[in-house]
Amino acid sequence: MSLLKKEDNQIYKAILNETKRENNNIELIASENFVSEAVLEAQGSVLTNKYAEGYPKARWYNGCEYVDDVEAIAIERAKKLFGAEHVNVQPHAGTPANFAVYLAVADLLKERGYSSGRYTVLAMDLACGGHLSHGNPHNFSGRFYDIVPYGVSHTTETLDYDQIGELAKKHKPKMILAGASAYPRAIDFKKFRAIADSVGAFLFVDIAHIAGLIAAGLHQNPIEYAEFVTSTTHKTLRGPRGGFIMCRKEFAKKIDMEVFPGLQGGPLMHVIAAKAVCFKEALKPEFKKYQAQILKNCKALSQEMAILGYRIVAGGTDTHLFLVDLTKKNITGKAAATALDKTGITVNKNLIPYDTQSPFVASGIRIGTPAITTRGMEEPQMKKIARLIDKVLSDPDSQKNIQEVRKKVTSLVREFPLYKGLIRRLEK
């Protein structure tokens, strides 16, 4: 019998139910993925017991010789994977990793004679695909910094680098932030570097969503262009929930001080071990094939949705995700996501560029292919999924439709099982 089942049946049931949900549903949320059982094992290890404030060979507590090894391995693997000069793997998530960069730049500006800790940042508008930590007024970024948002072209719905350059010249930001959470096209970091240089700004790139694509050489790597690069490990990189920071050697001490003791105390050593495992997995040749299939699947799914009459934002995708504009389908993003969820198809509502709906309702949905690619699905399954989505959205109030699609979803996922061994072990 599972020890957890014996000791805490309520939590055991919740975990078992979530494991089954992940196995039985078609997961299309672009920021979610399924880790390997090796990553799960590392994250569920005894390393959770060890308090390790500080950094390898410079801890506050004794008894850190083995967790030092874990963190050093994680750092070296991340350096090799991305070609970074310095890596900090301690951030608990992507947003605190971003906060550390904001704070580091504030200190660097003070050293250069800029007295205020508050400064101007040029960052992507959340409504056009940015992230909360890129300037949302309720987030630390919008509360403590002067954010000047840039959007996308009204006609192409892609980044207009000339317009971004004009905004930079007008507002003279101290830092420019590139990266997104809902932008389907490739980002040109070389152009961002030129814009930053034109106004003497630091360039900070958030690659949380596209880290796996970059690691596989399928998207431009910002390391050679940006002073600071942050990421999470749990999206295309297919690792545990957590963040990390990469920077040039000259900023290493500053970044490390901002993470600890600036923002965090003891690092989560069990999570860092899981990060190390995911970095090793990402260094394997098959990871590149996996990332390439993510792109193929995303293009196939978006193209099939377009054939079925849906408008795809920005005309398509270069990445692991795309946005569907539902305005002409007379259904909101919220209603669409709710209806699809009833059938076992999981997406999220999402603003489209210059949306007239509130973020809580939205006019679109965001669809991503990392998780279904992890299961082994390929282009033929993308066509099936597109048709299932269309069947639901063509009549979202039809219980008959929902029941029929649920059966087809169940049939499809059975062909591509997930965590079956884990489910069997939990059920013992």
Q: pLDDT tens digits for 201-250? A: 999 999 999 999 999 999 999 999 999 999 999 999 999 999 999 999 99
**Residue 264: how many other CB atoms lie within 10 Å:** 16
Give the model confidence (pLDDT) of 315-331 as tens digits.
Answer: 999 999 999 999 999 99
Q: Is 379 a catalytic residue?
A: no
Query: Is the per-residue pLDDT at 1 higher than 70?
Result: no
Give the model confidence (pLDDT) of 403-415 as tens digits.
Answer: 999 999 999 999 9
For residue 67, name the pLDDT band (cuts at 50, 70, 90).
very high
Please pick, among 241, 280, 296, 329, the residue that the annotation labels catalytic.
Answer: 241
Per-residue CA distances from 176 to 112, 121, 169, 172, 186 (Å): 17, 6, 12, 10, 17
For residue 115, name the pLDDT band (cuts at 50, 70, 90).
confident
Q: Is 162 a catalytic residue?
A: no
Q: Is 112 a catalytic residue?
A: no
Q: Is 318 a catalytic residue?
A: no
Q: Is 232 a catalytic residue?
A: yes
Please pick, among 235, 334, 375, 408, the residue that the annotation labels catalytic.
Answer: 235
Please pick, among 27, 125, 157, 206, the residue that the annotation labels catalytic.
Answer: 206
Please pick, among 95, 158, 230, 232, the residue that the annotation labels catalytic.
Answer: 232
Query: What average pLDDT does this structure show over 383-389?
Result: 98
For residue 425, name the pLDDT band (cuts at 50, 70, 90).
confident
In the structure encoding, which two tokens stand for residue 218, read together?
């399928």
In the structure encoding, which two tokens stand for residue 271, read together?
């999570």
Residues 6 or more apart whose CB falls under 8 angstroms from that of 43 comprise: 35, 240, 270, 271, 273, 274
Q: Is 107 a catalytic residue?
A: no
Mean pLDDT, the chain, rounded, equals 96
For residue 18, name the pLDDT band (cuts at 50, 70, 90).
very high
Please pick, among 51, 114, 161, 419, the residue that the annotation labels catalytic.
Answer: 51
